[in-house]
């Protein structure tokens, strides 16, 4: 499942970030990295997603959200491997 397909308000864990994405490192730097527990809090216009990463919120466009593979996980938000 990709972040773009996630239902609202459900905790998921990031499994992989498309390494070909030009913003891969930046995504890591702002907390969207393998092992992070995140949650989609809002679906915006044109497929935009707002994601809770720890206590902060990050907005992503639909294409970027589709590059992040996630899995259901009840682990606490912000925990990382």
Partner 1 sequence: MTSPCHDAGGGGILTADATSVALVGNPNVGKSTLFNALTGARQSVMNAPGTTVELHVGTWRDAGLQVVDLPGTYSLVPRTPDEEVVRDTLDARPGTPALVVVDATALSRSLYLLAQTGAARPVAVAVTMLDVARSRGHAVDLDRLRAILGVPVVGVDPRAGAGLADLPDAVRGARPLTGVPDTRGLEPLEAADRVFSWVDDVVTRLDPPAPAPVSRSDRVDRALLNPWLGGPVFLAAMWALFELTTTVAAPVMGLVDGLVVAVADAARAGLAGAPSWVTGLLVDGVLVGVGTVLTFLPLLAIIYVALALLEDSGYLARAAVLADRLMRVVGLDGRAMLPIVIGFGCNVPAVAATQTLPTARQRLLTGMLVPWTSCAARLPVYVLLAGAFFPEHAGTAIFGMYVLSLVLVVGGGLVLRRTLFRDVRREPLLIVLPAYQRPHLRGIARSVWARVHSFATRAGSIIVVTLTLVWVLMAVPAPGAGADAGAPAVEDSLYGAVAHGVAPAFAPAGFDDWHFSAALLTGFVAKEVAVGALAQSYAVADDSPAGLGEHLRATLDASSGGHAAAAALAFMVFVLAYTPCLATAAEEWRRFGARWTLRMVAIQLSVAWLVAVAVFQVGSRLGGAA
User: In the complex, which residues of this chain contact partner 1 (CB under 8 A)?
Assistant: 9, 11, 21-31, 33, 37, 39, 41-46, 48, 50, 52-61, 63-64, 76-81
Residue 47 CB, nearest approach to partner 1 (Å): 9
Toward partner 1, which CB reaches closer, 2 or 43?
A: 43
Taking the C-alpha atoms of 32, 39, 15 and 33 in order, what is their torsion angle to the nearest 10 degrees? Answer: 10
Toward partner 1, which CB reaches closer, 1 or 18?
A: 18
Residues in contact with 23: Cβ distance below 8 Å, sequence separation at least 6, in sequence order = 64
d(CA 67, CA 59): 14
């Amino acid at each position: 499942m990709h972040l773009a397909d996630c239902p609202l308000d459900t905790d998921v864990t990031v499994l992989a970030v498309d390494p070909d994405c030009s913003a891969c490192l930046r995504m890591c730097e702002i907390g969207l990295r393998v092992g992070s527990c995140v949650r989609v809090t809002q679906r915006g216009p044109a497929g935009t997603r707002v994601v809770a990463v720890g206590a902060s919120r990050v907005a992503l466009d639909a294409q970027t959200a589709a590059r992040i593979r996630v899995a259901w996980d009840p682990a606490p938000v912000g925990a990382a491997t």
